Amino acid sequence: MSSPRDLTPTSFALLGLLAMKPWTTYELAQQMDRTLSRFWPRARSKLYVEPKKLVAHGLARASKDAVGRRSRTVYSITPKGRRALAAWVAQPGAGPVLEFEQLLKVFFAENGTRDDVLRTLRDLRAWVHVRTLVNVEVARSYQEGRGLFPERAAITTVVGRFLDDFLESLDRWAEWATAVVEAWPECPRDAQPDWAGLEESVRQSTARAARWRAAGGQVTSDAPRRRSPHLTEAGCASSAANRSRHS
């Protein structure tokens, strides 16, 4: 199933949220901030345009809902929207894009001082700490049965593990880099390389490449993926809905 060309991954991100439950545009933006912004950050102004685009393509429907004296527009996914979402999930996706100003500052460290770099590394660890507290709260909410979408706990756990491993990687790197930079002279351009650290990076990269080969890994192609024959065009969500109707 092909998608209209003006639909972007952000369009499908919002469609995925609508597959979970109906939302107003404001609620969609809030949910993006709370969850998806950690790995798919987008300006709020762009989020307010997307639901109307989904409606125009027949992937979502808009209905009026009254809250007291005020009316609001609530968006929900359509069967066509579920089919489009399933088709998008089944296709290869682009890899991560890292945008990291603190790392950019470290990269150009020779234009500042050792203390500048150390301050940047401290700021990074503080950034990690704040987000770590959020991770702890979300994880505990699911452990204690307070998770917002308990039916999605299996999926949330997998994504949450990546997000926490990412924070762990940042913190460990910042801790290592701090120890290295503390031994630098005041001017970073006069520093000597940490050859032992480079050797460890080579060893780690080589081992990672070997794991990929041992697992029979190959580069993902852009060819369409074949769906399991027992699934409908809308994927597991539609199959689950059908089972529910016939149970």
Final residue belonging to a domain, choices 41, 71, 95:
95
127 with 142, same domain: the answer is: yes
Signed CA dihedral, 142, 147, 152, 155: sign only: negative
Q: Which domain holds residue 118?
A: 101-213
126 with 182, same domain: the answer is: yes
Q: What integer is the mean pLDDT of 212-222?
A: 78
105 with 37, same domain: the answer is: no
Structural domain contains residue 4: no
Structural domain contains residue 223: no
203 with 143, same domain: the answer is: yes
115 with 200, same domain: the answer is: yes
Q: What integer is the mean pLDDT of 16-25?
A: 96
74 with 121, same domain: the answer is: no
Three-state DSSP at 244 gives: helix
90 with 123, same domain: the answer is: no
- pTM of the predicted structure, to 2 decimals: 0.83
The Cα-based distances of 155 to 43, 152, 158, 160 in angstroms read 25, 5, 5, 8
pLDDT value at 85 more than 50: yes
Return the pLDDT at 130: 96
Return the pLDDT at 46: 82
Phi first, then psi, for residue 76 (nearest 5°) are -140, 155
Structural domain contains residue 239: no
Instruction: Specify the DSSP class assigned to residue 5.
Output: T
Structural domain contains residue 230: no
Using a 10 angstrom Cβ sphere, with 0-12 exposed, 13-18 middle and 19 or more buried, the burial of residue 86 is: buried
Return the pLDDT at 246: 41
What digits encode the pLDDT tens for the residues 31-70? 998 889 999 998 888 888 899 999 999 999 999 987 777 8
Return the pLDDT at 66: 75
Structural domain contains residue 244: no
- Sorting pLDDT into bands at 50, 70 and 90, what band is 116? very high
Final residue belonging to a domain, choices 45, 66, 95:
95
What digits encode the pLDDT tens for the residues 161-173? 999 999 999 999 9
Return the pLDDT at 68: 72
Structural domain contains residue 168: yes
The total domain count for the chain is 2
pLDDT value at 228 more than 80: no
109 with 207, same domain: the answer is: yes
209 with 105, same domain: the answer is: yes
